[in-house]
Amino acid sequence: MGKPGPKRTLSEDAIVAAALEVLDERGADAVSVRSIAARVGIAPNAVYTYFPDKAAVLRAVVDRLIGEQSLAVLAGDEPWQDRIRTVALGLRSSLLRHPGAATLLMSAPMDGPRALEFGERLLDVLSEAGFTPEDAARLSYALIVYILGAIALEAAEVDPSRPAPPEEERIALRRNGFAKVPADTFPRTAAAAEVMARYVSTEQFLWGLDRVLGRATIPS
């Protein structure tokens, strides 16, 4: 018989929680096996009892954040578009509380149990709406790319070590930035500055989401 592996004194959830704390306090660059271990008071090599490497921990962090959003609304009685909007807004709110982690969304595969559950429930909604299995899968992907991509771009503009500031404060910062754009060199950008300043607004997030949903045609 082989030697028994290292004794488990914590849990995967404790390791993930520690990684999320480091992300929230110091940003993604500060996350390492050593910093995670220090947070929970174990030797660095003990982390490998729970996860094979740092990348696996970060994937679990992404999965945990996605799981913070209740999916019960997707099984509700509201119109299918409204259910998707509600879940999308919930994800945006939840993830912007952890901007350092939100930027991981586009760099870590969504293959954890909570992410898979989210994808399955989304396919349920689209199937119930009347989409073919192929179209439901295509639209599900388009929605996930838009929702998570928009959130990640918003998060990239804020300090990763603190929750995103209030929306109007972020818009004001962008407005000040666009005010410095020379109108003679970039006339279209200068003319659209107010709209572009509001790219980080709930209004813009829903505007884009509604365009994705609105162009989705259910076969007759």
- Tens digits of per-residue pLDDT, 119-155? 999 999 999 999 999 999 999 999 999 998 999 899 8
State residue 206's pLDDT score.
96
53 in Cβ contact with 101 (< 8 Å):
no
Looking at residues 176-191, what average pLDDT do you find? 96
State residue 9's pLDDT score.
66
Q: Retrieve residue 88's tokens.
A: 């999308």
Q: What CATH class does 69-214 carry?
A: mainly alpha
State residue 122's pLDDT score.
95
Which ranges of 68-155 would DSSP assign to H, the alpha helix? 80-96, 99-102, 113-129, 133-155
Q: Where are the domains of the chain?
A: 12-64, 69-214
State residue 1's pLDDT score.
46
* Closest C-alpha to 64, from 18, 116, 114, 30: 114
Q: List phi, psi (to 5°) of 136.
A: -60, -40
CATH of domain 12-64: 1.10.10.60
What's the pTM? 0.84
